[in-house]
């Protein structure tokens, strides 16, 4: 292969890698629309029925899970009526299959009727989680 062709291939692969990296970074931790888990068994997850819960799915080897855990515990402490539940998928792989959790951390915002109101894949930003909580409380007050 001529040198110019090899350089063009390397440049094209580099551009492709950068574009895919930017797309992945933009989607990481964002709230997913069209939640594919309509309800959650709160007793099975360790949450209290009738309360809003931030359910975090994590594993022993997850590097970002401790950071997300501290953030979610802080949010739960700041909002009365909100629980934080940490589900270790290392010991409960059945829950990963049932709730279609493919990576950790994954966070569900579960309302008091056990409906999954929001799903965050990756490390969510605090502002996004609090915005989802605010939206949920507005919706619950209206109904």
**How many C-beta atoms surround the C-beta of residue 25 within 10 A?**
10
Dist CA 64 CA 4 (whole Å): 42
SS3 100: coil
The predicted-structure confidence for 13-51, as pLDDT tens digits, reads as follows: 888 888 777 766 655 556 665 455 556 676 777 777 778
**Backbone phi and psi for residue 84, each to the nearest 5 degrees, phi listed first:** -115, 130
Report residue 87 CA to chain centroid gap: 12
Q: What structural domains and CATH numbers belong to the chain?
A: 31-142 (3.40.30.10)
The predicted-structure confidence for 100-117, as pLDDT tens digits, reads as follows: 888 899 999 988 888 888
Residue 96 has pLDDT above 50, yes or no: yes
Q: What is the pTM of this model?
A: 0.73
């Amino acid at each position: 292969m001529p040198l110019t062709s090899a350089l063009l291939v390397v440049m094209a692969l580099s551009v492709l890698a950068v574009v895919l990296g930017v797309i992945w970074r933009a989607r990481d931790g964002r709230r997913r629309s069209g939640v594919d888990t309509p309800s959650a068994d709160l007793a099975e997850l360790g949450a209290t029925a009738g309360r809003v819960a931030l359910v975090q799915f994590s594993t022993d080897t997850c590097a970002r899970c401790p950071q997300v855990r501290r953030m979610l515990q802080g949010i739960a402490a700041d909002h009365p009526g909100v629980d934080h539940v940490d589900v270790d998928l290392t010991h409960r792989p059945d829950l990963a299959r049932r709730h279609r959790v493919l990576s950790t951390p994954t966070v569900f915002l579960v309302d008091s009727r056990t409906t999954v109101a929001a799903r965050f894949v990756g490390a969510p930003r605090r502002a996004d989680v609090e915005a989802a909580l605010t939206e949920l409380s507005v919706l619950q007050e209206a109904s």
